[in-house]
Structure 1
Amino acid sequence: MAKTTIQYRQLKTEDLFEGIQLKPMVVDVLRRRGWADSAKQRILDLDQDGSAVILNKLLPPDQWDKSVFAGQLIHVQAGADVHAVMQSLDDDTAEYVLRSLNVADQARVLKGVLYFAVVDNHVGLIEGQQVRGRLLERYLTALLQKAGELEPGDAIILNGKFMAGDGKELDASTEVTVAAKPNRGGDEGAVRIAEREAAEARDHGSTVFDVLRTLGWSAEAVESLRSEVPDDGWIEGFFKVFIKRKTRAKKPISRATINEALRNVDAADLGLRGNGSEKNGIVKLSVQRAVQTNNSLLDPADAMEQIVNALREWAEAGKIDCRFDP
């Protein structure tokens, strides 16, 4: 069993056509275009780098007419040369022979997996380390544009749902504080950060140094700051976002804007200040669940079942306005 976090998301319907329903639209596209029974037809090259994003394992098609559609999204990439010793280290030999193996000749390397379930416009998902909610948005956008359901420029946006720690919501917040990912000192930390930034920057958000670059810091200034971080230390950054006006009062940031703009940010990295009650007490609608595993991977059927169970529980508790078949 593995402990996972199931997040809630909801389709942003503004700027899309009236009456849009995500679940029936996806089901209709898969059936009408003949993609329901062919995973090959569901392969999309979103990054134009030879990697592939695939809507892979799905809930059985004979269940698609019910409330729920659920699936597994995988991101695979071409293999690379791996240098290895093929002999047993127990062999008594003058030297071990190094060989180069090309993994691409045998398989595609799995970059990550995401599981999701959709009921109308309500979405529950379990993110992977390398496959985040943003990738699901991009995949659904590309799939529906390919099928002619969305116009160029339209996009699927899956908003989060943020609440105060006591479960209440404020209409707006005058100030948002966002914590960027820390950058650690030392050569080992620098290598790890560089690898992580290269692999995850597109879907995972930004480190402190990334934000400083966005704010206009030169490469020299960032490197100078990096050099001052001790080997056993790290640098953290907290960035305040607020709207100023000519009068002294700050203009509130709407809850709808927060749900969209911060949907891919960990709630632990946020603080909101409205009437003072949400500072350091914001939570994103989510729940932890134990999911069965097959070796180191989540069991797809159990992952999807747990997501559906979470959506049902939120609906029964009145946290989301979601209806299931009897």
Structure 2
Amino acid sequence: MGDRVMPSRVEPYPRRFTGPKSVWTSLADVTESRLSTTADWAAASRLIRVEEQLTSNEWVPKLWQSDDALVVPVDSERRIPVTVAGDQVRFVKPAGDYDSQRHFLLGRLDGAPRFVTTMDFADAELLTGAGEVARDEVVPASLRDVAANLSDIDRDLAIAAIAITNWHRNEPFCPRCGAASEIFKAGFMRVCPNCHNEYFPRTDPAVIVAIIDPDDRLLLGRQSSWGQRVSVFAGFVETGESAEQAVHREMAEEVGLPLREVRYFGSQPWPFPRSLMLGFVAYAAETEVATGYEISYADWFTRERLDRELEAGTIDIPGRSSIAHRLVTAWRTHSL
């Protein structure tokens, strides 16, 4: 893993929503709130990307001025505005002239353009697609806190918005010569005016793995900083290796287990800052687990033990917005 920090391992759990009304109940309340299904990313998104038209100097500004255009605001803390219940994203109407260095086109939803920009929410008139709402009905929230409560399309828009604004915030300079670069293609390309290098948003692939032993038990573990929280295991794909090879290497490094079978489960975008989580199910060839500097605790769980400890509140698992939760739930319901 080197010196990189795996976002899903450091903060794989939704932090408590701090708006006027929390969208999270205590996970110690009932097992059902901890082991529930959540939408996956297998179906096509309703957000239509418009790659072939992003280079037009006239088309994108016209979309910005169209009556049905809406903007996803993202603030300096990477939060989005949502309803107090945390189940809908609130949008703003485009204001002023189109600015190619600040306004980025995410795509079209049912033909209507959807943009993103960074702004202070206090500066915007907050809207839904249907009309105005009172300002006290809107609160800023982390995507980690509310993703599980959003509709598929609001979730897709929010993830895309945070991912592209993260890229511009973190990569303002040319990676070749260090000069300040400029934004093109409605936010999806940067060009260096000095060396003319073109570069594009990156996604870092990472694997996340549910390991099952010959007795159909699931391996769960934690880092020392996680408290009572446990999860499946994750790590970045290194240069020059396949995702499957990363599964074998990471699981050997983290828990010392050789694997006899690895199969793909599904994926999830995770824009903190730019990961694509590739989920796998792996079957362990043996059961002796070795923890080390990354993993402080790991143990095999039967379904009965997992239910019992969740009910007692002695362990916690990742929230419903995460692929880690999907993996645990799929194993728990015999769906792997």
- Which interval holds the TM-score relative to the shorter structure? under 0.3
- Whose relative contact order is higher, 1 or 2, with alpha carbons under 8 Å and at least 6 apart? 1
TM-score (norm 2): 0.25
Whose radius of gyration is greater, 1 or 2?
1
Instruction: Output the TM-score relative to the length of structure 1.
Output: 0.25
